[in-house]
A and B are shown apart, each in its own frame.
Chain A
Amino acid sequence: MDDLQNQDEKSSGRGSTRREFLTQITVAGAGLSFAPLIVNTETKVPGSQLSVIQPVNVTMVVNGTKQTLTVDSRVTLLDALRDKLMMPGTKKGCDHGQCGACTVLVNGRRINSCLTFAAMCEGDEITTIEGLAHGDGLHPMQAAFVKHDAFQCGYCTPGQICSAVGLVKEGHAKTDTEIRELMSGNICRCGAYQNILEAIKEVQAVKLI
């Protein structure tokens, strides 16, 4: 236990966050085995090989900021957001369109970012969980999730919230059954469904969005 605490202190002493640490080990591993699929035109990831086999230029507006990227054609929108734009709020769950953790809003509509190539997003407006809040003020759906304790581990939550925002905008869910049906693309392994339902109902009822 003492050793572990010492390790933690050493880590925090270097000012290394969990995400930075994970990025470092991922890059180290990638350098040994395969080339990363993403290249940043302005700043290159230190220590990586940066080979892009089929580069594609794409310009999209992400959370209100215009971004011009050069990505390998194989890079998904999800990976571009997380690894290129360093916005890790959007989560990778199954990576096959089955869990909804990667849900973002593209031109106001909820989609699975794991089944979209970044190259397909030319001219699109993307909103991720990082783009919902205004400064320190939570988006009404975020506030409702907090109020109703609509999560446990939190991994599916960014996708649930983006999906719920999309659902309210679509306006097709009037009953509990309809909300559940139209949220079925977002899986929660902690089983917070009842509280997610309550959060969505509250936002719908007071027409907060």
Chain B
Amino acid sequence: MEPFKFIRAQDNNNAIAAAAVADAKFIAGGTNIIDLMKLNIEKPHQVVDINALKLDKIETLSNGTIRIGALVKNSDLAYHPNISKNYPVLSEALLSGASAQLRNMASVGGNLLQRTRCPYFYDTSYPCNKREPGSGCSAINGYNRNNAVLGTSDKCIATHPSDMCVAMAALGAIIHVQGAKGMRSIPFADFHLLPGKTPSIETTLKHGELITAVDIPVMSFAVKSHYLKVRDRASYEFALASAAVVLDVQGGRIQHARVALGGVGTKPWRSTVAEKVLTGALNNEQTYRTAAEAALSAAKPYTHNAFKIELAKRTLVRALTTVGGMS
């Protein structure tokens, strides 16, 4: 690990000022960045500890929006009564990720910034455009069973690893950030970037900007929602395919639908095409299957991951069946 200066920030402004220098990184839970620093994939020369900042509350605003502080631990968010009762999709997504220990450490803000687990990103002996821009992608013609089928480019096919983000994409969360030039809010769909020609640039967050909170807007029908994750082992594993589903069914028809996929996309994959199929349609299996076909219609398989396309469709159909059958 490269040596680095460690700074304990006392407040937001203090933290943002300390992180303004090049090669500076914030640290909250540390579960991802410390792992990457040990492997010399992340090499910050200044680490700003933000754990003393007052960003660890979950509040309900007067309009019903839930405001989640960036430092709220994944486990605290998952077990918060308002989340587990009214937004089960988010609670289930969080609890399907990592282990109990890691969820006690990992922050909401850090989860938004998780890096991919593509094996070639982790193995510094291989070229990787995300790790070393311009060096090439080893996964496209390598062992790519776990890689993405949606949103890929000829520079990168790495999946986004987060479960929490898939649920937040479905719920239309808003991310609040603070920088030297003030505060701004970013709709969830605009936060993560497709790899395109610059896979090393993963979000629209600017250097030195601090994530302060994530808002979950009011969605009364989200009480009927579900996150289904399919993986190689029953627990403590990243998704091969996952689906976050929210349905509002009235009189046998789907009035509103939110759908997002994980494990198959280069970013948390909100599927507006599937939502269009579902909205106004009869609440039945044929509709679910049509929606799943639409969700994966743009999928592009690579040598070892074609199975993910059918797996993702079936995952989505099963999640829709579960939520569509809720009374």
Q: Are A73 and B47 in contact (CB under 8 A)?
A: yes
Q: Are A116 and B30 in contact (CB under 8 A)?
A: yes
Smallest Cβ-Cβ distance to A73: which chain B residue: B6
Interface size on B, residues (CB 8 A): 28
Q: Nearest Cβ in chain A — how far from B56, in angstroms? A: 13
Q: Are B102 and A97 in contact (CB under 8 A)?
A: yes
Interface size class of A (residues with CB under 8 A): 20 to 34
Q: Are A117 and B99 in contact (CB under 8 A)?
A: no
Number of A-B contacts (CB under 8 A): 86
B5 interface neighbour in A73, A96, A111, A181, Cβ under 8 Å: A73
Q: Pick from A125-133, A141-149, A164-172, A196-204 the stretch touching chain B.
A: A164-172
> Complex: how many Å from CA A54 to CA B31?
21
B34 interface neighbour in A72, A109, A115, A167, Cβ under 8 Å: A115
Q: Nearest Cβ in chain B — how far from A139, in angstroms? A: 19
Asked if A192 lies at the interface with its beta carbon under 8 angstroms from chain B, I say no
Interface of B is mostly: mixed
> Complex: how many Å from CA A160 to CA B72?
25
Q: Are A167 and B100 in contact (CB under 8 A)?
A: yes
Q: Are A185 and B101 in contact (CB under 8 A)?
A: yes
Q: Are A117 and B105 in contact (CB under 8 A)?
A: no
Interface string of A42-67 (1 = CB under 8 A from B): 00000000000110100000000000
Q: Are A185 and B79 in contact (CB under 8 A)?
A: no
Smallest Cβ-Cβ distance to A113: which chain B residue: B101
Q: Nearest Cβ in chain B — how far from A33, in angstroms? A: 15
Residues of A within 8 A of B59 (CB): none
Residues of B within 8 A of A73 (CB): 3-6, 47
Q: Are A110 and B5 in contact (CB under 8 A)?
A: no
> Complex: how many Å from CA A167 to CA B75?
12
Q: Are A112 and B101 in contact (CB under 8 A)?
A: yes
Q: Nearest Cβ in chain B — how far from A109, in angstroms? A: 5
Interface residues of A (CB under 8 A from B): 53-54, 56, 72-74, 76, 95-97, 100, 103, 109-112, 115-117, 119-120, 122, 163, 166-167, 170, 172, 180-186
Interface residues of B (CB under 8 A from A): 1, 3-6, 8, 27, 30-31, 34-35, 37-38, 47, 49, 51, 75, 79, 98-102, 104-105, 234-236
